[in-house]
């Protein structure tokens, strides 16, 4: 089989500055996929069969800071000079084939070593990322187990304390009732003895001791109680959770914070003087911003939420909804900041704010993932999934982030 010699490209052009060299190689209609570029400190090769361009550089360049770009039918190589000086020629002035062969072989050997080092570095980086992701997931799992165990221990301790308090109350009540019965019996015995004996110690005539006791017992019996109805009114519970399972103090604190948030209006805001009456209410402004968001006018929604937040900085829904707008506008760092502020306000964590906390976690996690901070995003998605464990869409998104971290899905 006869091998074809490559056709050397000679119609290249080059320019230079004191610090850089720019080489333009025409590709003669070749596509970018067919172009093979090898760049070292002293040797350049651009191969697009059957054409070949070689350059044995006059002076060494900094290969790590040099770049190559292919497009619009030309390959452009931007080389950074090691020594800042003007070159008289682009390539060495020699026809010594042996010397060129030696330079070419050394350059290709360096290039292969560089590719091998980059490959090893990539593998080590992937292994480090997988190790970090695994350690993160193990840590999160451990934290989750510790949190569940802590909750169980606290519930067990609370139940034990309630049981002991009830037992003490029952014991005290039984002792009090026994003491009352003893005192009543002593009084009855004393009265019976007084009625049975006279001043001289004789039994009163016409009455036996048994009859005296029976009459005394009948006299001591309380009169029948009157019948009637007692009206009982119960304080309605705001939260549907059973009292045994609820965290009453935290629920009451959440209700108190919500009430304070509704009353907390900053009357010193300068914009109030020019606003209509209905636009001075943060709740009305929130509804207005929600309508802008639903219509796709995210910038107007952000402006409305900004004004509402100036009026009241204690409403978590304003920060969470503004975070959703920033996500749409690709203001990712602002979305993370607003979601975090919403989560700070959504305390203590109770059933009434569970859905809002889940939304805030998802919005912050989405912003982290769009910034390619997948580990931080995974933590937020897992927190949301812990709040709403049966949400199938949330389960799929969480698994997709795990796959990205583990390298089993294309980012």
pLDDT digit string, tens, across residues 344-402: 999 888 888 899 999 999 999 999 999 999 999 999 999 999 999 999 999 999 999 99
The pLDDT, as a whole number, for residue 230 is: 67
More confident residue, 358 or 48: 358
Which of the residue ranges 3-7, 39-43, 232-236 has the most confident prediction, judged by mean pLDDT? 39-43
Overall pTM surpassing 0.75 (yes/no)? no
Distance CA 30, CA 51 (A): 10
DSSP state of 346: S
Distance CA 129, CA 144 (A): 22
The pLDDT, as a whole number, for residue 204 is: 47
Looking at the DSSP assignment, which residues form a beta bridge with residue 61? 81
Reported confidence tier of residue 156, pLDDT bands at 50, 70, 90: confident
Is the pLDDT reported for residue 284 higher than 50?
A: yes
As a whole number, mean pLDDT of residues 77-87 equals: 90
Q: Residues 163-171: contacts with CB within 8 Å, 24+ apart? A: none
The pLDDT, as a whole number, for residue 341 is: 94
As a whole number, mean pLDDT of residues 130-156 equals: 87
More confident residue, 42 or 340: 340
More confident residue, 287 or 8: 287
As a whole number, mean pLDDT of residues 78-82 equals: 91
- Quick: pLDDT tens for 227-268: 666 666 655 555 555 555 556 677 777 777 777 666 655 544
Under CATH, which number does the domain 7-93 receive? 2.60.40.790
Comma-separated ranges of CATH 1.25.40.10 domains in the chain: 266-406
Which 3 state secondary structure label does DSSP give 93?
coil
Q: What is the DSSP string of 49-82?
A: TTEEEEEEBSS-EEEEEEEEEEETTEEEEEEEES
User: In the chain, what percentage of residues exceed pLDDT 70?
Assistant: 80
Count of helix runs (H) and strand runs (E) in the chain: 10, 8
Q: Would you say how long the chain is, in residues? A: 411
The pLDDT, as a whole number, for residue 411 is: 45
Residue with token string 């070419």:
104
Is the pLDDT reported for residue 12 higher than 90?
A: no
User: In the chain, what percentage of residues exceed pLDDT 90?
Assistant: 31
Token representation of residue 362: 């998802």
Comma-separated ranges of CATH 2.60.40.790 domains in the chain: 7-93
- Quick: pLDDT tens for 99-139: 778 888 888 888 888 888 878 888 888 888 888 888 888 88
Task: Determine if residue 52 is left, alpha or beta; phi over 0 gives left, psi from -120 to 50 gives alpha, anything else beta.
Answer: beta
As a whole number, mean pLDDT of residues 130-155 equals: 87
The pLDDT, as a whole number, for residue 114 is: 80
The pLDDT, as a whole number, for residue 227 is: 65
Q: Phi and psi dihedrals of 54, rounded to 5?
A: -125, 145
Which 3 state secondary structure label does DSSP give 95?
coil
Distance CA 391, CA 368 (A): 21
Strand segments, DSSP code E, in 102-250 are none
CATH 2.70.150.10 is right for the domain spanning 266-406: no
């Amino acid at each position: 089989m006869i091998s074809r010699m490559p056709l050397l490209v000679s119609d290249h052009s080059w320019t230079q500055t004191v610090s850089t060299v720019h080489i333009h190689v025409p590709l003669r209609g070749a596509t970018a996929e067919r172009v093979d570029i090898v760049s070292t400190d002293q040797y350049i090769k651009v191969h697009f069969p059957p054409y070949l361009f070689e350059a044995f550089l006059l002076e060494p360049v900094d290969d790590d800071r040099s770049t190559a770009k292919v497009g619009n039918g030309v390959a452009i190589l931007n080389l950074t000079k090691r020594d800042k000086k003007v070159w008289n020629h682009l390539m060495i002035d020699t026809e010594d084939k042996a010397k060129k062969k030696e330079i070419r072989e050394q350059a290709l050997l360096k290039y292969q070593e560089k590719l091998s080092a980059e490959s090893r570095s990539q593998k080590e980086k992937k292994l480090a990322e997988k190790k970090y992701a695994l350690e993160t997931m193990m840590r999160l799992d451990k934290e989750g187990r510790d949190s569940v165990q802590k909750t169980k221990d606290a519930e067990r301790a609370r139940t034990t304390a309630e049981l002991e308090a009830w037992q003490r109350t029952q014991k005290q009540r039984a002792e009090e009732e026994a003491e009352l019965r003893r005192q009543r019996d002593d009084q009855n015995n004393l009265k019976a003895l007084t009625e049975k004996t006279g001043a001289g110690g004789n039994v009163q005539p016409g009455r036996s001791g048994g009859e005296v006791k029976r009459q005394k017992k009948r006299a001591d019996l309380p009169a029948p109680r009157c019948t009637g109805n007692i009206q009982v009114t119960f304080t309605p519970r705001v939260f549907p959770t059973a009292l045994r399972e609820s965290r009453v103090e935290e629920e009451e604190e959440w209700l108190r914070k919500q009430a304070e948030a509704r009353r907390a209006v900053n009357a010193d805001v300068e914009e109030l003087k020019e606003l209509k009456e209905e636009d001075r209410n943060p709740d009305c402004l929130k509804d207005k911003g929600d309508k802008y968001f639903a219509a796709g006018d995210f910038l107007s929604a952000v402006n409305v939420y900004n004004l509402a937040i100036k009026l009241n900085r204690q409403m978590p829904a304003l920060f969470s909804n503004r975070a959703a707008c920033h996500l749409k506008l690709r203001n990712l760092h602002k979305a993370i900041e607003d979601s975090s502020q919403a989560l700070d306000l959504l305390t203590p964590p109770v059933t009434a704010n569970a859905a809002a906390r889940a939304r805030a976690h998802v919005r912050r996690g989405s912003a982290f993932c769009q910034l390619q901070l997948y580990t931080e995003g995974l933590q937020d998605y897992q927190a949301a999934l812990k709040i709403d464990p049966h949400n199938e869409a949330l389960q799929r998104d969480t698994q997709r982030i795990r796959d990205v971290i583990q390298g089993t899905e294309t980012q």
